[in-house]
A = this chain, B = another copy of it.
Amino acid sequence: MRQLLVQHWQCANARDWDGFARTLHPEVEYRVPQTRELLCGAAALLDFYRSYPGAWTLELTRLLLDGDQAVSCTAFHVEQQTMTGIAFFQLRDGLVWRIEDWWPESYLPPERMVSMQRY
């Protein structure tokens, strides 16, 4: 299962779309909760990744596995920017069946009653 998700991200980064497709359940569903967008099916998800604009690269920075669930963090580099993607996975039949993809953005620290250091 670790190998499946490593392959998922390595193949995406390498634009190895055949290898990427082999990690996907035919009925995969991909959701972006922050925009409430949904893609259904391996062909649609493959199109989405394949057509994603920009000279992006990504690295897997964290992977936790728990039964048929997993979460990955990826550093997504595009045009001098790096974003962190947090993806929750649910597997079925040893393949990626559900993806919930989060893209948190930087924001200015709010006023806090307890002040924090910056790092």
Contact = CB atoms under 8 A, between A and B. Distances in A.
Nearest to A73: B88
Interface residues of A, number: 43
Q: What's the number of copies of this chain in the assembled complex?
A: 2
A117 interface: yes
Contacts of A21: none
A49 to B, nearest CB: 9
A108 B37 CA distance: 10
Contacts of A73: 88
> Which 8 residue pairs are nearest across A and B when measured between Cβ atoms?
A104-B104, A37-B116, A35-B109, A64-B66, A51-B113, A48-B114, A38-B117, A38-B119
Interface of A: 31-40, 44, 47-48, 51-53, 62, 64-66, 69-71, 73, 84, 86, 88, 102-110, 112-114, 116-119
